[in-house]
Amino acid sequence: MNRVTSTDYDSPVGPVLLTFVDDALVRLDVAHGGLDRARAEIAARLGVVPDPDPAPGADLVRQLDEYFDGDRQAFDVPLDWRLVRGFTRAALEATLEIPYGETAAYGEVAVMAGAPGAARAVGTACAASPFSIVVPVHRVVRADGSIGEYGGHPEVKRHLLGIEGAVRDAGGLRAAG
């Protein structure tokens, strides 16, 4: 039987609930509605209440600290994709190819995921990502370069892109350098 655990993480963008099945991350939830609500949502999705245990999440907590300090560009954590199906997974995997500090438009990610013309579906996939931050859906922007809503929290997306050196200019976002 799989062991489901959770770890609370106090990030610069708000409280985060890290949930693991065994040693694989099944969900990283920036808990805008609070940690209790995030725990209830993941319990409903998985059918089990995660045991509070910081041990499985310790390495990811360290990596997140490094990321928020500007010292990490990619995450090295096993992912449990059980909450992701079909095109959503292809789109999320495609976002892993967007280099740190750069952005790609929803339509570009659709092409990368093998479904040209599925830009709206990419937006839906990004909004449904259970791996926020670790799978860089924040690097996906509108065709005009504007950042979009990011689950109703564009300030979080702006903060993450700021860490990565993507800066706002008149035409939208561009890689700094």
How do residues 115-136 score in pLDDT, each as one tens digit? 999 999 999 999 999 999 999 9
70 in the Ramachandran plot: left (φ > 0), alpha (ψ -120 to 50) or beta? Answer: left
Query: Residue written as tokens 């040693």?
Result: 23
How do residues 21-54 score in pLDDT, each as one tens digit? 999 999 999 999 999 999 999 999 999 999 999 9
- Structure tokens belonging to residue 5: 């655990």
